[in-house]
Amino acid sequence: MHLLDRERLKSLDEHNCFRNCIILAPMVRISKLPMRLLALDYGADFVFTEEIIDRRLIQCRISRNDLLNCYDFREPDETLVLRIHDREKDKLVVQIGTACSEDALKAAKTIEPYCFGVDINMGCPKSFSTSGGMGAALLKSPLQVKGILMTLVKNCQLKLTRLLSTGDFPSERPKNEVHLDMIREYASAVDIPVIANGLAGTRERPGAFLSIDFVKERTGCDSLMVARNAMWNCSVFKCISKLKNQSSSSTQAAVNPDEKTEVAKLLLKYCVSYDFPVQFYKYALQNSLGDHPIADKVRNTTLMSEVCAQFGLEQFYRTEMSRLSQRSNSPVDIDCKRLKMDSSSETGAIMFSFAFEYSKYRKMLPVPPKTILFEFVNKKIFNGVDVKPRFETTPFGDSRWKCVCFLTERRAFFSSYCERNKKHAEQGAAAVALIGMGLMDDRLNMIYRNEPSLIHLMSRDASLSDSSVTVQEETDQKQVLRLCVHDSVLDWFT
């Protein structure tokens, strides 16, 4: 249950806050921005974040992400801790894990301008919370709880909730029956809003507690918080909201199981649009679709582009990735001085956006761009200059990478697209180099046919390897290759 502090009751009641509401519960690895936005789409009145430890919030650097219309909270190493969208600001409650009133206040002040309320976790029975004196461990220290809450009430303007219980004991788990008598006892003992949680039931038998009227009748609570049912099928909020907004004798929401795939597709689009990693989506999908055929296929993927392909969202993915790559004011965030390169000169860097999608690329060519690039520079045609490709990767934002491909100290190529891992960033930079020098067309779907010195790369047949090329043929091939490169390319290396 979530009990609002009495001193806040009057101001809350003026707006009927936390009364007759349906709320997305705080769930570890689930209650992130994509899931919160999806819950709001389906009719949730409020959404909670997953638990964030107070000291982690305190050390965060806050920045405005205009491209996503969000505020990003990042640790000193740039790890993304929390992303808050403008749309959810007045409906978002940030859950804090704390055992110290001073740290709790600092954390609350950190997020105060960006959310509606703060929730103190006093119900989590897991060891990662209780070992630090947080979560359910706080129930053993009522004076400590009082100190935390009074400090927040007196010094913070956010709405305050306290997570006390979900109708069970710390030693119990979701499979155990909820103690309705316990919830009713708490609800009847106070005159402030009480939110019932933990009434979803099991995946096989969701239970009848999906109607606010039914919750009020059986528990005396004012609102309903949904956790596992939302994780299994977020459209449950639409069903509950429909019952809430119409006069009906029904006390149970009917959730359409066939809607799960569409819900999963919408969640995927939010993950792509707001730059969340594929690992988050795969975890959410496995908890939602379980043994569904699509879930089995997604389980074997490693890239977001591959996941999108399973839902027919290839074009959506390419469009969004192109948009996300323009997140900075400059074409790319590369320190030219650090790279010993003058980007303003004609012999600086060549850049354009290229996304290396391995599953798509391997259908076009049997070998990656780096291999082709190394084969090319080994032909020794650069006017006597020893050209050795060198790749330098740099982290960019949350789990993304950019790479510069150096052919000499004053000639480099790179893509403005941010890849999910270092290897793909290097392949993207190599592709830009190949396209920039004319070795590949801008669609990267073929090596130019009039380059016989590289024709062996088009097939895995050993008979087409370099060993079958005579000295005279190799000399002729070099001449042909020189004609294929853009006219000005060779002049770069003089």
Profile the chain (494 residues) by mean pLDDT over runs of 10 residues: 42 61 92 97 95 95 93 86 95 95 95 94 84 87 91 85 57 68 83 78 53 80 88 88 60 63 95 89 89 86 84 90 61 36 46 72 73 77 73 78 83 80 88 76 45 42 38 44 41 48
For residue 201, the model assigns a pLDDT of 53
For residue 411, the surrounding DSSP H or E stretch is strand 411-415
Q: Which residues contact 332 (CB under 8 A, 6 or more apart)?
A: 351, 402, 414, 416
For residue 457, the model assigns a pLDDT of 44
For residue 384, the model assigns a pLDDT of 64
For the chain, the first-to-last Cα distance in angstroms comes to 74
In 243-400 the beta strands, taken as DSSP E runs, fall at 349-352, 390-395
Helix, strand, coil fractions of the chain, as percent rounded to 5: 45, 15, 40
CA triplet 71, 269, 282: central angle to 5 degrees? 95
For residue 290, the model assigns a pLDDT of 80
For residue 2, the model assigns a pLDDT of 44
What are all long-range contacts of 387-395, with beta carbons under 8 Å and residues at least 24 apart? 387/493, 389/430, 389/433, 391/426, 391/429, 391/430, 392/339, 393/422, 393/425, 393/426, 394/333, 394/334, 395/78
Residue 413 in tokens: 């190529």
Q: Which candidate, 356, 351, 259, places its Cα nearest to that of 304? A: 356
Q: Which residues contact 189 (CB under 8 A, 6 or more apart)?
A: none
For residue 220, the model assigns a pLDDT of 86
Q: How far is 103 from 148, CA to CA, in rounded Å?
A: 9
Q: Are 95 and 121 in contact (CB under 8 A)?
A: yes
Q: Are 107 and 99 in contact (CB under 8 A)?
A: no
For residue 363, the model assigns a pLDDT of 64
Q: How far is 204 from 202, CA to CA, in rounded Å?
A: 5
Tell me which residue has tokens 């795969």.
282
Residue 324 in tokens: 């996300």
Rg (CA), the chain: 29
For residue 212, the model assigns a pLDDT of 77
For residue 173, the model assigns a pLDDT of 62
- Per the DSSP assignment, residues forming a β-bridge with 412 are 349, 406
Q: How far is 220 from 34, CA to CA, in rounded Å?
A: 32
96 by DSSP, 3-state: which? strand
pTM of the complete model: 0.67
